[in-house]
Structure 1
Amino acid sequence: MTMQALLIGNESLTAECGNLWLDRGHGIAAVVTREPRVAAWAAGKGVPVVAPGVGLAERVAGLAVDWVLSVANLSLVPPAVLARARMGGVNFHDGPLPAYAGLNAPVWAMLSGEARHGITWHLMTDGIDEGEVLAERSFDIAGDDTAFTLNARCFSAAVESFAEVVTALEAGGHPRRPQGAGLRKVFRRADRPAAGGLLDFTRSADTVARMVRALDHGAYRNPLAVPKIRAGGRVLAVGMAAVEPGSAAAGTVLEATQAGLVVACGTGAVRLAGLRSMEGEAVCPSTLGVTFVASPGADESARLSAALGPVAEAEQRVRGLLLSADPVTTGAPAAGGASWRAVPLALGGAGAARVALAVLRALGRTSGDLAVAVADAAPGLVLPWVPVRLAASGPAGAAEAAAGQALEAAHKAGGIAADLALREPGMGAPVPHPVALAQNDQPLAGSAVTLSLGDVPKLWHDTARLGEAEARALVGRIERLVAELADASLDVGALSPLSAEEKGRLSGALAATARDHDRSLTIPAAVLARAARDPAHPAVIAGGVRLSYGALVARAARIANILRGMGVQRGTLVGLACHRGADMVAGALGIQMAGGAYVPMDPA
């Protein structure tokens, strides 16, 4: 009998098992994935691809399938989606059950010192990894296994055992058996190693080296933590560890050379190599000048773990904001040390949410990201700020309520894990957004402007990035907009960043720049003519970005060439979704040079 499945997953294993399912003569009604490579595989098989997340049940409502196959899928399948399957669902779990339910089972098994590991195919229920077992495999954990290699072995075991699973599904999900006896432990997405991964040298050298291997995910994303030490006044990531002969008080440095840092443990010693700063810079052990590496005691470990708890809970959301950052900008880019000055702010008792909306509108934005300063609860392990994304549009009352909720969530997050960029391929070290909000009386290091909303509100500005006149003008706009936002019915997005006086002054300045010109020329032709006459003359000044006519035309020409290659021709409408700046000007010009017409779109 041919069966239809809804396949859900985000790894190469998803496609591997999909191929095996198809090879057995069965069909796939749709693939639910966020992974482009899996989506490309599905498209190549002629299988529809459905986006995961909120609303998934509605998106698959028209499907009729026999089984839901959850393979390398780290999210719970909603009951309404599982209900689409006539026979039920089966899930691949990368650990033995019931001992290692939940997420990241290979890592937790290694951290626990297990000698063996395994994988489980089980029927799906409303609970987490609770269903009866269709197939399972177990194998020894090798002495040199890392999180990466153990995960790879789990995937191999999954592929090898999937034929047994398909046979069981063809028989209606039989044979099946209860999960084995023993303590059930569920590992949550936000669970982390103690003390944020700081190595404890009071333990045996074997245990310390195993922890480093357990947190080694190779070139893949690390969802938990990197192993760390505190040395030379900073926190460093550890890339490799090997057991070495040696004996001394735990934490004593026995050697510090280019070959590594050898540290005595409770028993034996370990050689630590591949040291990096939290910003990703390589650190040579010989430059540290340390004779001892401290371990976190029980009380400190508990305190650090407590401080990192809310950070881990919020990490998935914060990670998404950092990877899709849309910072509100002002002033010049950071370059060297900061020189802070404060300008008083008269806010009339307005709350942080209203002030934040006023800041966005004062800088001409209807949406964007600010930095929210938080307490520095775990220096070196947590960055003391959190990104927040706000929308300054719609009725003021509703916008202020939404902004308040977003700011509250940011404060609860407690910061950003300092090792996040080391764990996320392609992510640079997080740097505070240019505009920040703080509840204390201090500017956020790394920002250009910090609005301090304590007992005496003020706007701090880094004079190297934003001058005194610009800062005072910004304060005036914020104060005016805060007052206007007291009317809850006003459309926030319709509020002008400029006062009537500023508009009058600017309109006069613009009128003074009026010049006669050849009105027979199109805008692209006029720009090209000016670029030919005077290529070095400034054409665009946007914040800290300056483009000459020559540079503007070169950038626009590249855009036009790409657009023509995509089929844009005379009369084609091309959407332009850019914030005001040099990219917007180059994009509009490039579209026109390709023959098209640009359609301005709100990037929010």
Structure 2
Amino acid sequence: MVKLNKLKSVLIGEGSLLIRCAEILLQRQWSLAAIVSNSAEVLAWAKPQGLAVICPQRSADIAIALQDLEFDYLFSIVNGFLLSEEVIGLARQRAINYHDSPLPRYAGLNAATWALIQGETHHAISWHDLTAGIDEGDVLVQVPLAIAADETGLSLNVKCYEAAIAGFQQLSQQLEQDQVQPQPQDLSQRTYFPGWARPWAAGFLDFHQPALQLSRLVRALAFKPGYRTPLAMPKLWLGDNWVAVGKLTILNRSRPEPPLPPGQIVALDGQRLVVSTATANVALSDLRTATTQPLSPLALGYQAGRSLPALPEPASLGPLSETVARHETFWRRRLQRCTGLTLDWLVKDQVTDQPQLCAQTWDGLDALAPRLIDQVRQWQAKTSGGEAALEPALAAPEHPLALALTALLGGFFSRLDRQEGQTLSFSGPVQRALAGTKTAMLFAAFVPMELRCDPDAPLGAALGNWPRNKPSSTSAAAMRGICKCGRGACRMQACPWPSPG
């Protein structure tokens, strides 16, 4: 048995649950060797405590940072990093992970939300051994939970949070007394939900489904305004737009007689929209726009007796949203660190109120533009068998004309803006293909593309940066300036290309 005054631990993760668990350990006279987190909330708590803080950028950084530390237990709590076997093996006694599900069921992410969608009546949280297999380790402590008939994703997550704290109290006591009894998981009962998994029809309400199934979906996905929903917002399709649905109430448990076609509006007022489903009528309320602004059902312009627009290809919306979701974290992080054009070289035209190049900048363009065009001509001459010299990098087959021109424009903007890096919005075949669908408004028309070019380097030097900068193997079709907005995030704004004439 390890003596209490020698128990040392490392906590990895984010959020208030990690803080509460750390406080429990400190109250029980444990020693915290380090806190590994990039969470502003965690860092704001840990630093005044005088605790060692590690802020990794990659999973590999964690192994390097912890390799010289000695500690008994490693706790992974709401941790987004995939920990290597090397990191797991650094703990002298155990590496332990928190999971918000009754393992082996609902392994993966967003377990509470999926449990509601699947119609579960019971749930649990688990503290388990951390192993190379995701959520496969022996269960050390499991706290059961009841799911109420009106349970929501938010309320069940709160229950999981409270159960996690209670379970950690129990776990820490068992570790101190060397009374942990690991229970192997029956992996034949395992279900797994990856982070990119999305519900049927990407969260749109399909009124051909039973009312109870729609109720589960809305309750699982409906979070308070200001919360980022983990999977998707429950949505109502309007044909050329959509609105978020905050609440769905089943009005009658049996189908009305005579039965109404699914999706027909039964009644509406300033508070709710009553719609028929495959089994019963439901009332939709707390409607909001895509920007979370409250919306009256009367503002939709519909009347009782009219059928709502049919959802186009609902079976394909889920897989399509899952394809996009696989890359969502990458693009969100890139947006958060984007560098906008200062646009100091644009002035407002007093007549048209449109941005125009100032005279001083235009004088510079007279010298830069011919050089940019000359680079493109050299590329054309080289690829067509001409004799014009060209940098070797541009002659490679992965550099089509559109990509080369985009790279040169990056160097061009660096000269104008006197910045080494800019973020431009990029639209390639993937974005254009989505734009041609009936549900185009669900997906970003542009993704952020980073360009890193030395403003004092030769214009052709931008070509060497292109393989690192291009967001995919697609060709560039449109670029617009990205401007910064508040709270560390960014939004893409169209900036008309000015004309000197």
Q: Please state which band the TM-score falls in when normalised by the shorter chain.
A: 0.7 to 0.9
Instruction: From the superposition, tell whether residues 241 and 327 of structure 1 become closer, same or farther in structure 2 (CA, over 3 Å).
Output: same
In structure 1, the residue matched to 2:265 is: 253
Instruction: From the superposition, tell whether residues 133 and 383 of structure 1 become closer, same or farther in structure 2 (CA, over 3 Å).
Output: same
Superposed, 1:282-293 pairs within 5 Å as 282-290=294-302, 291-293=306-308
Distance 1:57 1:206 in 2: 47
Alignment-mate amino acid for residue 358 of structure 1: G
Distance 1:48 1:388 in 2: 36
Distance 1:338 1:111 in 2: 51
Question: CA offset at residue 359 of structure 1?
Answer: 3.7
Secondary structure in 1 matching 2:157 = helix
In structure 2, the residue matched to 1:233 is: 240
**Which residue of 331, 336, 352 maps to 2:403?**
352
Cα displacement string for residues 69-103 of structure 1 (whole angstroms, at most 9, x for unaligned residues): 11222332233322321123000100111110011
Instruction: From the superposition, tell whether residues 189 and 181 of structure 1 become closer, same or farther in structure 2 (CA, over 3 Å).
Output: closer
In structure 1, the residue matched to 2:453 is: 392
Secondary structure in 2 matching 1:278 = coil
Q: Within the alignment, does 1:119 sit opposite 2:148 as a pair?
A: no
Distance 2:30 2:319 in 1: 49
Q: Within the alignment, does 1:146 sit opposite 2:144 as a pair?
A: no
Alignment-mate amino acid for residue 202 of structure 2: G
Secondary structure in 2 matching 1:239 = strand
Distance 1:329 1:289 in 2: 42
Cα displacement string for residues 33-86 of structure 1 (whole angstroms, at most 9, x for unaligned residues): 122222222223321111133222222222111110112223322333223211
Alignment-mate amino acid for residue 243 of structure 2: L
Q: Within the alignment, does 1:361 sit opposite 2:414 as a pair?
A: yes
Cα displacement string for residues 570-597 of structure 1 (whole angstroms, at most 9, x for unaligned residues): xxxxxxxxxxxxxxxxxxxxxxxxxxxx
**Which residue of 468, 491, 502 maps to 2:500?**
468
Q: CA RMSD in A?
A: 3.3
Instruction: From the superposition, tell whether residues 402 and 317 of structure 1 become closer, same or farther in structure 2 (CA, over 3 Å).
Output: farther
In structure 2, the residue matched to 1:482 is: none
In structure 2, the residue matched to 1:43 is: 47
Secondary structure in 2 matching 1:85 = coil
Q: Within the alignment, does 1:221 sit opposite 2:228 as a pair?
A: yes
Superposed, 1:563-578 pairs within 5 Å as none
Question: CA offset at residue 192 of structure 1?
Answer: 1.5
Is contact 2:218-2:247 (8 Å) kept? yes
Alignment-mate amino acid for residue 271 of structure 2: A
In structure 1, the residue matched to 2:334 is: 321
Distance 1:10 1:195 in 2: 31
Instruction: From the superposition, tell whether residues 159 and 279 of structure 1 become closer, same or farther in structure 2 (CA, over 3 Å).
Output: closer
Question: CA offset at residue 182 of structure 1?
Answer: 4.4
Instruction: From the superposition, tell whether residues 232 and 200 of structure 1 become closer, same or farther in structure 2 (CA, over 3 Å).
Output: closer
In structure 2, the residue matched to 1:500 is: none
Is contact 2:32-2:51 (8 Å) kept? yes
Secondary structure in 2 matching 1:8 = strand
Alignment-mate amino acid for residue 407 of structure 1: K
In structure 2, the residue matched to 1:262 is: 274
Is contact 1:117-1:138 (8 Å) kept? yes
Alignment-mate amino acid for residue 202 of structure 1: H
Distance 1:333 1:129 in 2: 57
Secondary structure in 2 matching 1:75 = coil
Alignment-mate amino acid for residue 363 of structure 1: L
Question: CA offset at residue 310 of structure 1?
Answer: 3.4
Alignment-mate amino acid for residue 264 of structure 1: S
In structure 2, the residue matched to 1:575 is: none
Cα displacement string for residues 84-132 of structure 1 (whole angstroms, at most 9, x for unaligned residues): 2112300010011111001110011111111111111100101110000
Is contact 1:388-1:410 (8 Å) kept? no
Structure 1 unaligned residues grouped into runs of 5+:
416-424, 434-446, 450-460, 470-604
Cα displacement string for residues 500-526 of structure 1 (whole angstroms, at most 9, x for unaligned residues): xxxxxxxxxxxxxxxxxxxxxxxxxxx
Instruction: From the superposition, tell whether residues 338 and 187 of structure 1 become closer, same or farther in structure 2 (CA, over 3 Å).
Output: farther
Is contact 1:134-1:173 (8 Å) kept? no
TM-score (norm 2): 0.77
In structure 2, the residue matched to 1:24 is: 28
Is contact 1:196-1:381 (8 Å) kept? no
Alignment-mate amino acid for residue 41 of structure 1: W
Question: CA offset at residue 358 of structure 1?
Answer: 3.0
Distance 1:125 1:397 in 2: 49
- Say how many residue pairs are matched: 427
Structure 2 unaligned residues grouped into runs of 5+:
357-368, 381-400, 479-485
Is contact 1:31-1:42 (8 Å) kept? yes
Question: CA offset at residue 213 of structure 1?
Answer: 1.3
Instruction: From the superposition, tell whether residues 329 and 371 of structure 1 become closer, same or farther in structure 2 (CA, over 3 Å).
Output: farther
Alignment-mate amino acid for residue 432 of structure 1: M
Distance 2:162 2:177 in 1: 24
Superposed, 1:582-593 pairs within 5 Å as none
